[in-house]
Amino acid sequence: MISGGKYPSTRLRRTRRNIFSRNLVRETVLTVEDLVYPIFVVDGKKKLIPVDSMPGIHRISLDNLDGVANECLKFGIPAIALFPYIDEKLKTDDGRESFNDQGLIARAVRLLKINYPELGVITDAALDPYTTHGQDGLVDADGHILNDETVVVLEKQAICCANAGADVIAPSDMMDGRISKIRNALESSNLKNTLILSYASKFASSFYGPFRSAVGSSMNLGTKGKATYQLDFSNINEALREVEMDIEEGADIVMVKPGMPYLDVVRAITDNYLIPTFVYQVSGEYAMLKGAFKNQWLPEKETIIESLTCFKRAGASAILTYFALDAAKALTSSNSAT
Applying CB under 6 A, the residues found at the interface with ligand PBG are 124, 126, 128, 136, 172-173, 208, 211-212, 226, 282-283
Give the number of other CB atoms < 10 A from CB of residue 224: 14
**226 Ramachandran zone, left/alpha/beta (phi>0; psi -120 to 50):** alpha
Give whichever of 95 and 120 is closer to ligand PBG, judged by the CB atom. Answer: 95
Please, what is the minimum distance in Å from the beta carbon of residue 172 to ligand PBG? 4
Please, what is the minimum distance in Å from the beta carbon of residue 171 to ligand PBG? 9
Which of 181, 257, 290, 312 is labelled catalytic?
257
Preceding peptide of 261 cis, ω within 30°:
no
Give whichever of 19 and 152 is closer to ligand PBG, judged by the CB atom. Answer: 152
Give whichever of 64 and 172 is closer to ligand PBG, judged by the CB atom. Answer: 172
Please, what is the minimum distance in Å from the beta carbon of residue 17 to ligand PBG? 40
Contact between residue 60 and residue 42 where contact means Cβ atoms under 8 Å apart: yes
Task: Give the residues across from 279 on adjacent strands.
Answer: 256, 319
Catalytic residue list contains 202: yes
Which of 91, 156, 181, 202 is labelled catalytic?
202
Distance CA 24, CA 170 (A): 37
Preceding peptide of 78 cis, ω within 30°:
no
Catalytic residue list contains 257: yes
**58 Ramachandran zone, left/alpha/beta (phi>0; psi -120 to 50):** beta
Give whichever of 64 and 98 is closer to ligand PBG, judged by the CB atom. Answer: 98
Classified as helix, coil or strand, 281 is: strand
Please, what is the minimum distance in Å from the beta carbon of residue 134 to ligand PBG? 8
Active-site positions read: 202, 257
